[in-house]
Structure 1
Amino acid sequence: MIYPKIPLAQTVIQLCKEKKIKHIVISPGSRNAPLTIGFTNDPYFLCYSIVDERSAAFFALGIAQKLQQPTAVVCTSGSALLNYYPAIAEAYYSDIPLVVLSADRPKHLIGIGDGQTINQKNVFENHILFSSHLKLDIKDENNIPEHEELPIMKNIEDKLERFLGFQKDIQTHNEIEINEAINNAIINKGPVHINIPFDEPLYETVEKLTVKPKATEITLKEKPIDPYIIQSCLEDWNSAAKKMILVGVCNPNEVEQKWLNELAEDNSVIVFTEATSNLHHNSFFPSIDQIIAPLSKEEQKQLKPDILITFGGLIVSKKIKTFLRKYQPKQHWHIDKKLANDTFFCLTNHVEAAPNQFFEALLPKITHYVKSNYRDIWASVKQKRLEKHKQYLKQIPFSDLSVFETLLQSIPKNYIFQVGNSSAIRYVQLFNLNKTIEVYCNRGTSGIDGSLSTAIGCAVVSKSPTVFITGDLSFFYDSNGLWNNYIPKNFRIIVVNNQGGGIFRILPGNKNSDNFDTYFETTHNLTAKHLCKMYHVEYLSANTVLQIKNKLQTFYNDSENPKLLEIFTPRILNDDILLEYFNFIA
């Protein structure tokens, strides 16, 4: 087998292997050649070559998001590294283990005007779990660089001895740093950055490893919850007649079904879920905006919870945020191993545990259900909203809302469903999804950038087929996501093209002006047709519900290429239909 000659490159690669980092996303470059040589010549690794670093990082994010295992991205020096930042920020706020391996120039070549050189040390310091700047190997005893400020050697023996000593210290330092970085990504679930300086020559190889780095063990022990905390929660739980559980982004099967069933039996508990929660029960309350938006002030006061329990990632619904910030519960408990966001400005308790761990510790100790009609009242509201929802959809013309109703009903069972941000995820929130469908969305930063690349990365490692539904701006913004050779044949893309950022028409402001069209909505006449031709994606289009239904009949069938369905909706009409929707269901 072929290895890079540089010991530092060998060290990074071997420790990635020891830590079971299998998926390596590489962007072509020269300074990262030692890493590329090592990763691509070892059959253990699954390597992907993606030119655009921004897309590459989101592609890796999609892999890590689906597998919940660390995925590495490898780039050359200079501005290439900065293109990783959007995906790193998403990984940071979504607890996704992403390992960034950036090649760098030696210290003496930084700040002198050398090409492809920036200050890479700690460049992601505000959005990274751990940042490490490794030390450059000393190439040989006759080439101890002056910039390292080593002492003057008086004779050859002394020089050789000191050289070996310094190289050993450097090797030890680098092994410690790499181990700590990767362990952080695995244990604390988030992005880490390892900056790796390489000196030329970069392309030399050897047939035997010259270093054998040691991997430190990773201990993933579940920290027990303090019994006092459980007892305190239990006392408050038993006395509260109105308890609301609000669930954000969760991985599928994150909470055992038996605990969900137990919560559903308690009339004093309501469970609000979002599409990204991946939790299902007939007694739970999905489609939050549909239920919350039409409530009167009197109803909101009446339905304000005594205790609010939250867990999972960030919440999509602005309406539930407004409700709980205005009508704050007496107590807000957040269940999370890492941190607790004070989203509603009333946080009283951060239980440092996984949701499953918390419910396993709490629920078996509950001896009685407090008498309450809290869930019954909410259930009545839910039923009324659902009936009005169905009535409204029967009478509206062709629009984004009617399109999403048709699309979401069409997704086959057991599919992976990746959703674009902005209006796409908000429309999805208004409908109930089949419980066999796994839902993913980049809600850490809620940006439209990188959604397509993330979906493709997820699809590459998914056993089930993946469908990605997005708006036009998000799709075109990340069209480089199609620039790779790894898109599965069963990958499906649906672009709802309303010729601009339609979500901005829902917001307050003058919507009928050239200024708004140009700088807010950013209207356009682009289509995905020519992109599909360039990237060998089968293209379909539709302009009516009937056309959509006809195309969907074969859309999910097996094919030789991925498929994209582009649906054109009326730009001016969509916002009025959505705004009237909330008036109607009230």
Structure 2
Amino acid sequence: MYTELKSYQIIIALLKQYGISHCVLSAGSRNVPFVHSIEEDPFFKCYSVVDERSAGYFALGLAQELNQPVVISCTSSTATCNYWPPVAEAFYQGVPLIVLTSDRDPAMLGQWEDQMIDQVGMYDRHVKKSVNLPVVENKKDFWWCQRLVNEALLELDHHGKGPVHINVPMTSYNISFNVKNLPYVTKINRLETDKNLDLWSSKVEKLKQSKRILITCGQNSSVSDQLKIEMEKFFHRYNSAISVEYMSNLSCDGVINTFTCWDTRYVTERKFLDFIPDIVISFGGNIMSGVKEMLKRNCGKFEHWSIQEDGRIVDMFMSLTTVFECSPEYFFSYANQNSDETQKNDRTYYNEIKSYADSIVYPEFEYSNVYVIKNIVESIPSDSMLHLAINGAIRITNYSMLKPNIKVYANIGTHGIDGCMSSFLGQASVRSALSFLVIGDLAFFYDMNSIRIRHLGKNVRILLINNQGGEEFYYNGMWQDEASDLHTTARHHTKAEGWVKECGIKYIAVHCKDELEAAKQVFFDEAYDRPVLIEAFTEMAHDSKVLYDFYALSKPVDMKQKSKEVIKGVIGQEAAKKLKNMFNK
């Protein structure tokens, strides 16, 4: 029988999956849930060494002679300090030890709790990986704990061997052992290019059998010609579709910009079930489109294979099973070289997604930030550079149809408001062709000092959407009432005109469609002798409404969604919001 504590259940289950069976145990109260659980499990070989310092060195010798990782487990407080010397020795000798330290309630740290010190990261400079597990109380905690234990165990022999540290907090002393079976856990495999050849082969076989392979391409500042060639070959041979957004900077046969059709405010959860893949293959950086959230909501229904050149664990869909430590070029080339010559994509899955994306109805938008951004970005010439500030600029641009070969940047590694314009100006300074920035008022005023940088060239073109505040808070439903405008949306009545002119930039104010058309004559004039900035004035509440009206034109509606709309129609938007908040308490 096993302990009731989920964190230790996960540890034990994963130790068994990794084939780690030798454990050196030091007596103590806090590690009893682990100790008693494994001493009754015939898979484990247990050794009792009371003194933790001696136990650590004993385990070091075991690991060296067995050429296998060994677990050391102790109670909380100064018992953990006695592991220091053997852990340091293991680190410098490259010996794989799993240092399992039991801990107490994190809320009681520094509150004179008996036998409690700060154990988090205590061996950091002398272990290859250190993780502090959550107290597992729900499904998300379980996933988090499982991922952290995987991260630690994977580092035991990753680019050299060495010790890892797993700290296990618990809120109360628990000696209940009434669990017959360990939970199902996912062991994350990491495949390197020169190892695990049998696993590589098995993965290719799985690809051959799959009917629905979704490739999600995150942010890339550049994509090699080789990658484009290999991805097209892969698409032609395997039953796949390639989900992109403009920041992916990938254009080849098989790509679909799913930003709109899988936006969480457009596609319903029921409708997205029609597109659940068998396997998701991800590469690149962050993903801004709704595909990330929709896949996360359906975690566990598919396998996630992550291509990471440094081998990092990136479980963005909470379904990670395999990490391929290689370049995307290597991965797709390997899959292509090992495919059958007669193998061909039947395009069923691709056509389902493409048909859904093509069914979206785009109206003639009224004057708004949607109209202005869409109008401008669709007019940008091929082979230009476009930088998008966060949120609205990214969203609306991805609802648009850009010309070919436009390189698109955005600071979405951290997705922060600061520095968008400075980054753009750095990019534009080493280009001679026209370079474009789409930015909102809050991001602009945050970084306004950057336009006085002396390296500002005449190729700079800035579209500033001034809707007097953070429209994102209207869009996300965070706006509650007029009071929200003060501190949430940061409503203002500031214009950029004075500062822009002072910096020697051509300034054009726009308030309507006709003014925008006139401004474009200068904005897209390559021969113009100065940088140009258009400040387009819109209103954030109206901008948000225009977007939701657009969604409503062709958004799929299931019974749950239809019920919500009926309620809103009967009692009104504000009353519906209050009702939702009441039930969420």
Aligned to 2:462: 493
1:267 touches 1:376 (CA, 8 Å); kept in 2?
no
- Report if the CA contact (8 A) 1:264-1:284 is conserved: no
**What is residue 209 of structure 2 aligned with on the other side?**
239
- Residue 534 of structure 1 corresponds to 502
For the pair 1:312 / 2:284, whether they are aligned, the reply is yes
Structure 1 gap segments, 5+ residues each: 1-124, 127-221
Q: Whole-Å Cα distance in 1 between the matches of residues 371 and 552 of structure 2?
A: 17
1:375 to 2:350 alignment: yes
Counterpart Cα distance in 2 of 1:371 and 1:274: 24
Contact 2:219 2:247 (C-alpha < 8 Å) held by counterparts: yes
Please tell me whether the aligned partners of residues 332 and 347 of structure 1 are also in contact (alpha carbons under 8 angstroms): yes
Q: Return the alpha-carbon distance in structure 2 between the equivalents of residues 519 and 225 of structure 1.
A: 55
Q: 2:297 aligns with which of 293, 309, 326?
A: 326
Corresponding residue number in structure 2 for 1:295: 267
Query: Following superposition of structure 1 onto structure 2, how do residues 421-570 of structure 1 map, counting pairs within 5 Å?
Result: 421-513=390-482, 515-557=483-525, 558-570=527-539
Structure possessing the higher radius of gyration over alpha carbons: 2
Residue identity opposite 2:406 in structure 1 = I
How many matched pairs?
360
Following superposition, the deviation at residue 533 of structure 1 comes to 1.8
- What secondary structure, in the 3-state scheme, does the structure 1 residue paired with 2:544 have? helix
Q: Which residue of structure 2 lines up, in the alignment, with residue 35 of structure 1? A: none
Rounded Cα–Cα distance in structure 2 between residues aligned with 1:464 and 1:444: 26
For the pair 1:270 / 2:241, whether they are aligned, the reply is: yes
Distance in 2 between residues matched to 1:297 and 1:542, nearest whole Å: 39
Alpha-carbon distance in structure 1 between the residues aligned to 2:426 and 2:336: 38
Q: Distance in 1 between matches of 2:242 and 2:440?
A: 29
Q: Is the 8 A contact 1:502 1:574 kept in 2?
A: yes
Correspondence for 2:252? 281
Alpha carbons of 1:452 and 1:240: their partners in 2 closer, same or farther (altered >3 Å)? same
Q: Residues 80-108 of structure 1, C-alpha deviation per residue, up to 9 Å, x if partnerless?
A: xxxxxxxxxxxxxxxxxxxxxxxxxxxxx
Question: Is the contact made by 2:303 and 2:319 (CA closer than 8 Å) also made in structure 1?
Answer: yes
Q: CA deviation at 1:568?
A: 0.7
Q: CA deviation at 1:463?
A: 4.5
Residue 343 in 1 paired to residue 316 in 2? yes
* Secondary structure of residue in 2 paired with 1:256: helix
Matched residue type, 2:251: H
| Comparing 522-531 and 274-283, the one that deviates more | 274-283
Q: CA deviation at 1:340?
A: 3.4
Q: How does 1:48-447 map to 2 (within 5 A)?
A: 224=194, 226-254=196-224, 256-266=227-237, 268-281=239-252, 283-293=254-264, 294-317=266-289, 319-328=290-299, 329-338=301-310, 339-367=312-340, 368-369=343-344, 373-385=348-360, 388-389=361-362, 392=363, 394=364, 396-447=365-416
8 Å contact kept, 1:287–1:432: no
Once the two structures are TM-superposed, the CA of residue 459 in structure 1 deviates from its matched residue by 1.0
TM-score (norm 2): 0.58
Distance 2:502 2:354 in 1: 51
Q: Once the 2 structures are TM-superposed, how far is the Cα of residue 443 of structure 1 from its aligned partner?
A: 0.7
Provide the secondary structure at the position in 2 that maps to 1:539: strand
Residues 379-421 of structure 1 show CA distances to partners (whole Å, capped at 9, x for unaligned) of: 2212212xx12xx2x1x32111111220111112211111111
Q: CA deviation at 1:307?
A: 0.1
Aligned equivalents of 2:204, 2:404: Cα separation in 1: 31
Distance 1:232 1:285 in 2: 28
Q: Aligned partners of 1:536, 1:370: CA distance in 2, in Å?
A: 55
Q: Distance in 2 between matches of 1:428 and 1:277?
A: 13
The CA deviation string for residues 554-583 of structure 1, in whole angstroms up to 9 with x for no partner, is: 212223221111111123211111122222
Any idea what SS the aligned residue of 1:431 has? coil
- CA apart distance, 1:322: 2.3
Aligned identity (percent) is: 24
Distance 1:582 1:421 in 2: 20
Q: Give the distance between the partners of 1:489 and 1:242, measured in 2 at CA.
A: 48
Aligned mates of 1:566, 1:340 — CA distance in 2: 42
2-side partners of 1:239 and 1:248: how far apart?
25
Confirm or deny: 8 A CA contact 1:408 1:433 kept in the other structure.
Answer: yes
The whole-number CA distance in structure 2 between the counterparts of 1:433 and 1:384 is 18
Encode CA deviations 1:321-344: one digit per residue, 9 max, x unaligned.
221012234210111112231111
**In structure 2, do the counterparts of structure 1 residues 448 and 473 end up closer, same or farther at CA, with 3 Å as the change threshold?**
same
Distance in 2, matches of 1:472 and 1:380, equals 36
Q: Give how far 1:230 is off.
A: 2.6
Shift of 1:239: 1.1
- Under a length normalisation based on structure 1, what TM-score does the superposition of the two structures give? 0.58
Contact 2:234 2:335 in 1 (8 A): no
Kindly tell me: are residues 292 and 520 of structure 1, through their superposed partners in 2, closer, same or farther at Cα, counting changes over 3 Å? closer
Q: 1:433: how far off?
A: 1.8
Moved over 4 A (4+): 222-226
Whether the aligned pair in 1 keeps the contact of 2:210 and 2:278 (CA below 8 Å) is: yes
Cα distance in 2, alignment partners of residues 490 and 240 from structure 1: 48
Q: CA deviation at 1:266?
A: 4.7
Structure 2: distance between partners of 1:262 and 1:531:
51
Q: 1: CA distance between counterparts of 2:479 and 2:448?
A: 30
Q: Which moved more, 1:546-555 or 1:241-250?
A: 546-555
- Aligned counterparts of 2:443 and 2:422: Cα–Cα separation in 1: 11
Q: Secondary structure at the match of 2:215?
A: strand
**333 and 267 in structure 1: CA distance in 2 versus 1, 3 angstrom threshold:** closer
Checking the alignment, whether the CA contact within 8 Å between 1:291 and 1:381 is kept in structure 2 is no
| Matches of 2:199 and 2:517, distance apart in 1 | 53
Structure 2 SS opposite 1:487: coil
Q: Which has the higher contact order (CA 8 A, sep 6+)?
A: 1
Displacement of 1:306:
0.5
Matched-pair contact (CA < 8 Å) for 1:332–1:348: yes
Letter in 2 for 1:299: K
* Distance (whole Å) between structure 2 residues aligned to residue 475 and residue 510 of structure 1: 22
Query: How far does residue 494 in structure 1 lie from its aligned partner after superposition?
Result: 0.9
